[in-house]
Every structure is written in C-alpha cells, then in structure tokens.
Amino acid sequence: MISRISILGTGLLGTSAGLALRATGFPGSIVAWNRSPEQGRLALEMGAFDSLVTDPIEAALASQVVLLCVPIYATLDFMEKLAPVLGTDQLVTDVGSTKRVISEAGTRLFNQSGRAAFLPGHPMAGKERGGATLGDANLFRGAVWLFTDDPKAQRSPQATELVKEWRQLVQSIGSKVIDLDPARHDELVSWVSHLPQFLATALSALLEDQVGDAPELKDVGGRALREMTRLGASPYSMWRDIALTNTEAVEHALHALEQRIAHLRENLRAPELRDEFEQANRFRRD
C-alpha cells in the first residue's frame, strides 16, 4: 500500500533511511527535501531517493508517509505546519531522540478525527558525526527502532494500515522494533544514550584541558581512550534539543553518575572497589 514516501531532512538518518529502503527493494517513490539544497543533492547522487524537492509541505501533501529526519524543534515546527493541511489517509512519523514532547504534540495535533496519523519513532542508530555523506544503507541493521505510539489515537482504516506497513518497513531494513510509553522512553534513553554522550563530552573537554597541548600524548591512551571519547566529536547542534527536551531525566542520570564516581574515588584503597568492579562486570556479562 505504501508507494509514496517523502523524507524531510537528508542528514545522516534521512539519507540512510532512503538508502536502506532502496537496498531492501522498496518499490515505491521516495522524494526528499533538505534545508541545505547542497546536502540534499549529495544524498540524491548517492541514490537515497528519486528526486529532491524545494517545498517540503508540497512534498508531504503528495505522500502517504512523511518521515521527519530533522532536529527535535524542527520536527515540532513541521508537525505544527503539517497537521492542518494533511488528510486522514496520511501518516507522519519521525526519528527524534526524545519522545515525550514530540508524542504530546502528536496527540494534540494528529491522531484525532479529521487529522492525519502521527507515529513517534526513534531509531537507536547514529554516528558521532552527521551529514548525508556518512549515509549508510546498513545503519539500522541490528539496531533497535523505538516507537512510542498513543494507544488512544483515532485513525482512519487507511492510516491504521500505513502505521502497520511502516512498522514492517522498519523491520525490513533490519531494525528490531520495541514499543514504549513516551515517558519511559525518555527515562530509558537518559541512561543508555544521553548519559554516555554527555559523559563523553565532559571527559573529552576535561582531557582537552589536561593533555590537549601535547597531541603526542593522546596516542598513549590507545584504543580504550579513543572509544571513551569518540562521542566527544558529537556536535552541540544535535544535542542541544535533547538537553532541552529531556532535561530532568538527564540531570538525574548525570547526578547519579557523579555520586557513583565519588563513591569509587573514596574507595580506591578499600574492599568496596571490588564490589564496583564486580557490579560493572555483571553489566557486560550477557
């Protein structure tokens, strides 16, 4: 049934989604829009979609599924613009990294009589750097794709079918689907995604202060240091919206980590250090 998809935003995720759909034989048409036409053309040349359009709303109007692959606040802006103009036989879905604010907007603006459907989504895939040129048809293979759908959504039979088919397409490109409540989603990712990122940023910034003037000494840390600071390359532009839309959960996770590090620091010479290592070992056991 899905034969026309528009991808709004052709950064790493939008480009990779187009490439992945093509690689798994999606037979329909894919059009795309990007704020920077230059980046959009790069993705077009990579074969991520059939054509690049200049008007995102026009593209959305002509599609059955609109995939929003822009930062969180840009996603919210598009939702405001699209909700009044789309029809009940259309589906909007997204890839935003926090889901409480977006899901609330979805319930307020979509999923009701006379409105299109909205399915909040979040693929747990990415790289520390963005951009179309890093697009990868296999980016979502083996990754979890989270959905935080509204159980009270009112949808037309066509929209219900589009939701079902989009979930199947996501699985066809290699992702494992998990459904969560939006608040639980934001709490979970504050631990397993946002905490590691903000931690890597703090560690990298600290090490830049300490050994940044002696580049030859960065080699000393080897693979372990490279891994622990890889996410330090992540751009502020991508994480600002996450910090603003999941602040309390991230604050809580960071504060818990500060306390855990302090506990370890205070026990470097004590038997409790063994307990901390053993508890950490358990996390890596499975």
d(CA 125, CA 107): 25
Q: For residue 240, state whether it binds a copy of itself (rule: CB under 8 A).
A: yes
Residue list 67-126, contact with a copy of itself (CB under 8 A): 124-126
Record the tokens describing residue 19, joined without a space. Answer: 């490439």
Among 13, 53, 76, 195, binds a copy of itself (CB under 8 A): 195
Among 81, 143, 171, 181, binds a copy of itself (CB under 8 A): 143
Q: How far is CA 235 from CA 14, 27, 136, 192, in A?
A: 17, 35, 19, 19
Residue with Cβ nearer a copy of itself (55 or 286):
286
Q: For residue 207, state whether it binds a copy of itself (rule: CB under 8 A).
A: yes
Write the binding mask 39 to 78 for a copy of itself: x where contact by CB under 8 A, - elsewhere.
----------------------------------------
CB 94 within 8 A of CB 117: no
Q: For residue 199, state whether it binds a copy of itself (rule: CB under 8 A).
A: yes
Residue with Cβ nearer a copy of itself (62 or 74):
74
Among 1, 177, 183, 205, binds a copy of itself (CB under 8 A): 205
Stretch that binds a copy of itself, among 36-44, 92-100, 130-138, 197-205 (CB under 8 A): 197-205
- The burial class, CB within 10 Å (0-12 / 13-18 / 19+), for 172 is middle
Element (H, E) at 29: strand 29-33
- To the nearest whole angstrom, how small is the minimum distance from the Cβ of residue 207 to a copy of itself? 5
HSE-CB at 140 with a 13 A cutoff on CA atoms is 28
98: left (phi > 0), else alpha (psi -120 to 50), else beta?
Answer: beta
Cα-Cα-Cα-Cα torsion 5, 8, 11, 13, nearest 10 degrees, comes to -50
Q: For residue 152, state whether it binds a copy of itself (rule: CB under 8 A).
A: no
Residue with Cβ nearer a copy of itself (80 or 251):
251
